[in-house]
Amino acid sequence: MLTGPNRNVDLVAEGFDMAIRLGQLPDSGLVARKLEDAELRLVASPDYLKRAGTPQTLDDLSRHVCLPFVLPRTGKHGLWSFRSGGEDIEWQPSSVLEVSDDVLGTVSLAEQGIGICQTYDFIVHEHLNRGSLVELLPQLGGRTRPFSLVYAPHRHQSAAARVLVEALVSSA
């Protein structure tokens, strides 16, 4: 069973076989298998940068159109994560625009020249390769967030679900 974008589900109560979860997982009684530590990238389109200029420092971001994602769990803008001099920095983007329901919406808006977004390398890798997006502030990069596959330990999994779990975990 698949669900709509960015909705946290109760796997057991709602009858889901598994889910992919982001971040540190609470002790929930579910089996968690780490898939990856996904590297974050700050990106904008060349058109946006031509119009608005290229930020050189974290402070410069406050003078740009940032495209924050509204976290479904809290209803608040997700923090942007950076690293400087070995120190982790969490930065709160503010904007008159906000994206909810689909985290990929921030990437689409950035690619269309609307503003700057932070997302995962695996999402924007191809955009960066073809030049439709440009990485910003690479000197503040290096932060990652974990993605894990979770499933109920006591639930009987179909053969297809077991194969999918093993394929996802083995490719991690």
Tens of pLDDT, residue by residue over 68-86, are 887 777 778 788 999 998 8
Listed ranges 12-26, 42-56, 85-99, 134-148; the one with the highest mean pLDDT: 42-56
Q: Which domain range does residue 154 map to?
A: 1-172
- Give which of 128, 101, 97, 127 is closest to 115, Cα–Cα: 97
Q: Are strands 134-136 and 31-44 parallel, antiparallel or unpaired?
A: antiparallel
Amino acid found at 45: S
Tens of pLDDT, residue by residue over 19-60, are 767 666 666 777 777 888 889 999 999 999 999 999 999 999
Above 70 in pLDDT, residue 130? yes
Q: What are phi and psi of 51, to 5 degrees?
A: -75, -45
Give the confidence band of 2 by pLDDT, cuts at 50, 70, 90: very low
0.95 cut: is pTM over it? no
Q: What is the CATH number of the domain that holds 122?
A: 3.40.190.290
Name the domain count of the chain.
1
Torsion of CA 57, 62, 64, 65, to 10 degrees: 130
- Note the pLDDT of residue 11: 65
Q: Please, are residues 98 and 91 in contact by the beta-carbon 8 Å criterion?
A: no
Give the confidence band of 3 by pLDDT, cuts at 50, 70, 90: very low
- Note the pLDDT of residue 161: 75
- Note the pLDDT of residue 87: 93
